[in-house]
Chain A
């Protein structure tokens, strides 16, 4: 099976940096995803890591350590519009399109 853990809620200040952690224990692993979901809306893709290391995309970066079963999403220069839930998801094997999602981290950005 797959077990994915991430904090339930976080609060951060506008303009600051926040790191959202995700740990996973899976019977197979071939990639970790981050999705953003604003309240009442559909999830949207943010990033995908399959190899160890940091992937940077504008204000957002995602890190993966396969040996530690650990990932984080780093959000810089926080804006009010970044208030949303951030979903961590794992893909079990190459060629598979199935994702298993964590419960999500609700991020509140305050002035």
Chain B
């Protein structure tokens, strides 16, 4: 099916472990984004990518790593997970300045 998907949808991990959240889109959109959503903070941009092999930091990049070797994939890695990274993570993609399409989200719990 066309669209934007995220995996896993739910993940429980422990402090200090490495975790990778996957994002895949089938529209060939140039731009992709990673956000986290926390109660009291709203959506905050972690990293974004304008094209394959081009990534840049957003508002809250510390503790996260991204890569984009293919246009359709934009994985987000937490190299050493901390409890403060417990959150809902949304991936989004866009080819227009005025509209972003969001994936269904990944709910991550770090114990």
Contact = CB atoms under 8 A, between A and B. Distances in A.
Interface in A43-78: 43-45, 48, 50
Interface residues of B, number: 24
Size category of the A interface is 20 to 34
A33 B42 contact: no
A43 B90 contact: yes
A99 B42 contact: no
Contact of A102 (B35, B42, B97, B101): B42
A91 B101 CA distance: 16
A98 interface: yes
Interface of A: 31, 33, 41-45, 48, 50, 87, 89, 91, 94-104
17 contacts: A31-B98, A33-B98, A42-B104, A43-B43, A45-B98, A45-B101, A48-B99, A50-B98, A97-B48, A97-B50, A97-B94, A100-B59, A101-B35, A101-B43, A101-B44, A102-B42, A103-B42
